[in-house]
Structures are given as C-alpha cells and as structure tokens.
C-alpha cells in the first residue's frame, strides 16, 4: 500500500512537470491538449481504481485486524480468568497457611508460657517436689489397681513416704520416694571451667548419697516394708548422668537396696509388678479351681452311688412286676378254667371231682 502511494505521487509530479513545461513554452497544440486530457482521464480512472483497491484492501485489513483483535481479546479474557482463578486459589492457600502459622505461633506462645511456668515450678523446692510426685503418681495410677497403692502413706515409725505399693509377702510393701537433687544437677550442667565441674560433681555426689542413705534408713523397715525401696527421678537426664558418670553412687544405692528409677524404668518396674500380681492371682485362682474340681469329683462319686442304688431299686421293682404278672396270668387261667366248667345232672361229688381235676391240671 505504501508502494502504490509512492507511485501515485511520482505520476502526479511527472504530470505537474509536464504541465509546467507546456505552460512555459506558451503554446500548445490541440493535439497535445487532447493527449493531456486523455492522459488526465486515464490517470483519474487509474487513480479511482487504485482508490477502490486501496479501500477494499483497507476493509479486508480492517476485518482481519478486528478478527485478530477479537481472538486476542478472547484469549486475554480467558487468560485473565485463569490467572484470576489461580490467584484466588493461591490466596486461599496462602490464607490457610497463614492460619496454620498463626495457630502454630499461638501454640508456641502457649508453650513458652508453660515453659516459664515450669521454670517457676522447678525454681521452688516444694513445688519441684510436688512436680516429681505428680509424675510418679500418674505412672503408678496407669500401671496398678487403686487397691494396691497409697500416696503419702505413714509407716508405723511415723515416717511419711510419697508412695507405698502394697504387695503380698514376699516382697512386701515397696516404698517410693519422688524427691531429686535438682540444684546440684543444675550447677553441674551449668559448669564451664574444670574447677567448677569438679566442685559440682562432688556436691552432686554428696547430695545423692545422702538422699540414698535417708531412704534406706527411713523407708526400709524390717517386718513392715520390703527389703528394698525406690528412688524416683522425674528426669531422664539426671538418671542418665548418674549412671554414666557416678558409678560409685549407683553401687552404693544397690548396696543399700535402693533402686534408682527414671520415668521409663519406673513404668517397666510397675509393669513387672503388675505381671507378678497377676501370676499370684492366677495361682490363687488355680487353688480355688482345684478345690472346686475336688468337690465336683465327690459329687460325681455320690451321683454314681445313688444311681447304682436307683438301678437296684428299678431291678427289684421289675422283678416284683414280673411276679405280679405271673400271678395275674395264673388268676386269668384259673378264671378261664372255671368258666369252662359245665354243670350237668350227674352227682354233685362227680362235679366237684371234675372241678378239682381241672384246677389241678391248670396249676
């Protein structure tokens, strides 16, 4: 389209130059004027045709552009809808994740507050002792029936123990103490220099040994409790530290018959005690079953004797019935014989003799 425009411009310029040249010459012949008119008319016709073609091409181009723009607009609309849906889904996912993050943040804040509360509990010696007792009591409640244990039980000597597991002899009632030397363990865990660590180990060793001696002296009472007691440590870390780095303390606890347990070993011990009690109960039930079986055998023996007596009675009854039957048959035959006797005109003595003969024969 631009090339045609350039061609038109060139033709117009040529015609203009020719007209100017003719006008400069000052004279024009009629033939030249006619040719110029023909050329002008031909040029006008070509220009009109060219304009028509240009308009047709312009319309076709416009239609093509409109169709393409419509298709592009439709694709853009579809793309925008898809992007909008994806954006909405992404926003929904983001909102869900933000909600999860918000919940997790709240849980973290609650856990932080609980940790602060736990630190406050562990900072107080009495509260810390109660904290250990709560853990121990929960473990005992989960493992044993309520009739087999007593919390804060008082012994005959006046000593009060945190828990007394009442087992049959042997081994007897087992005392459990739930205190633990947290201050000395904190100093040991926080020690940095070698001097601090040595002093902390000595203090921790002495504290645990003293506690073991107190348990052995207070809670192991001959004739009242078992020959051993339990020291419950509500911290696996303290239990691991004690067995890993203080073997002499653990050996002294064994020598004094004090079993040092953590929550995990405490649960295992309670499970073993429950199995022991179940075995004792099964043995008791086995004795009862044996007694019941003995009584059942005696009842069977009596039943056999009584059935034998009844069988004898039935035999006697059957014999009596048979004899009664024999007697009834005899009576029946005699009746028939009597019915067959005929009374005639002969002497009475003959009739009596015949009757006796018939009776004799029938018998």
Rounded Cα distance between 302 and 306, Å, is 6
The SS3 assignment for 224 reads coil
Please report, for the chain, the start and end positions of each structural domain, with discontinuous segments joined by +: 127-261
Q: CB under 8 Å to 216, separation ≥6 — which residues?
A: 229, 256, 257, 258
Residue bearing the bigger pLDDT, 214 or 16? 214
pLDDT tops 50 at residue 116 = no
Q: Are strands 149-154 and 160-165 parallel, antiparallel or unpaired?
A: antiparallel
pLDDT tops 70 at residue 357 = no
DSSP for 43-97 reads: HHHHHHHHHHHHHHHHHHHHHHHHHHHHHHHHHHHHHHHHHHHHHHHHHHHHHHH
Task: Kindly list the distances between the CA atom of residue 219 and the CA atoms of 164, 229, 259, in Å, as whole numbers in the listed order.
Answer: 10, 7, 12
The alpha carbons of the chain give a radius of gyration, in whole angstroms, of: 63
Tokens of residue 327, six digits: 């007697």
**Residue 24 host element (H or E):** helix 2-25
Residue bearing the bigger pLDDT, 126 or 157? 157
Per-residue pLDDT tens digits for 205-250: 888 888 889 888 888 888 888 888 988 888 788 888 888 888 898 8
Per-residue pLDDT, 7: 54
% of the chain with per-residue pLDDT over 90: 1
Task: Kindly list the distances between the CA atom of residue 223 and the CA atoms of 147, 172, 212, in Å, as whole numbers in the listed order.
Answer: 21, 9, 20
Spatial contact of 219 and 257, defined as CB atoms under 8 Å apart: no
pLDDT tops 80 at residue 199 = yes
Q: How many CA atoms lie within 13 A of 237 on its CB side?
A: 6
Per-residue pLDDT tens digits for 304-346: 788 788 878 888 888 888 888 888 888 888 778 777 766 555 5
DSSP class of residue 183? H
Q: CB under 8 Å to 209, separation ≥6 — which residues?
A: 249, 252
Mean pLDDT of 2-19: 58
């Amino acid at each position: 389209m631009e090339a045609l425009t350039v061609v038109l411009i060139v033709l117009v310029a040529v015609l203009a130059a020719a007209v100017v040249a003719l006008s400069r010459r000052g004279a024009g012949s009629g033939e030249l004027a006619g040719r110029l008119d023909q050329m002008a008319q031909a040029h006008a016709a070509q220009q009109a045709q060219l304009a028509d073609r240009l308009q047709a091409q312009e319309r076709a181009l416009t239609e093509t552009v409109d169709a393409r723009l419509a298709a592009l607009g439709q694709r853009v609309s579809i793309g925008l809808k898809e992007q909008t849906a994806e954006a909405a889904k992404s926003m929904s996912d983001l909102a869900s994740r933000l909600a999860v993050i918000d919940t997790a943040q709240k849980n973290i804040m609650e856990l932080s507050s609980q940790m602060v509360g736990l630190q406050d509990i562990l900072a107080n010696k009495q509260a810390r002792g109660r904290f250990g007792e709560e853990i121990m009591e929960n473990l005992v409640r989960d493992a044993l029936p309520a009739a087999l244990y007593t919390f804060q039980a008082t012994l005959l000597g006046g000593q009060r123990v945190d828990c007394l597991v009442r087992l049959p002899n042997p081994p007897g009632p087992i005392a459990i103490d739930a205190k633990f030397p947290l201050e000395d363990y904190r100093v040991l865990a926080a020690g940095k220099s070698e001097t601090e660590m040595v002093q902390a180990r000595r203090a921790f060793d002495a504290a645990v040994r003293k506690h073991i001696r107190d348990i052995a002296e207070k809670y192991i009472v001959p004739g009242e409790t078992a020959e051993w007691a339990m020291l419950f440590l509500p911290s696996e870390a303290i239990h691991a530290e004690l067995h890993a780095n203080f073997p002499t303390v653990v050996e002294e606890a064994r020598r004094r018959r004090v079993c040092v347990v953590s929550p995990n070993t405490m649960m295992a011990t309670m499970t073993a005690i429950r199995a022991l009690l179940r075995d004792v109960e099964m043995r008791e039930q086995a004795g009862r079953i044996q007694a019941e079986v003995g009584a059942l055998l005696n009842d069977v023996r009596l039943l056999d004797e009584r059935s034998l007596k009844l069988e004898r009675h039935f035999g006697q009854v059957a014999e009596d019935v048979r004899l009664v039957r024999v007697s009834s048959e005899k009576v029946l035959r005699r009746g028939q014989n009597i019915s067959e006797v005929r009374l005639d005109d002969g002497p009475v003595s003959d009739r009596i003799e015949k009757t006796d003969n018939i009776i004799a024969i029938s018998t």
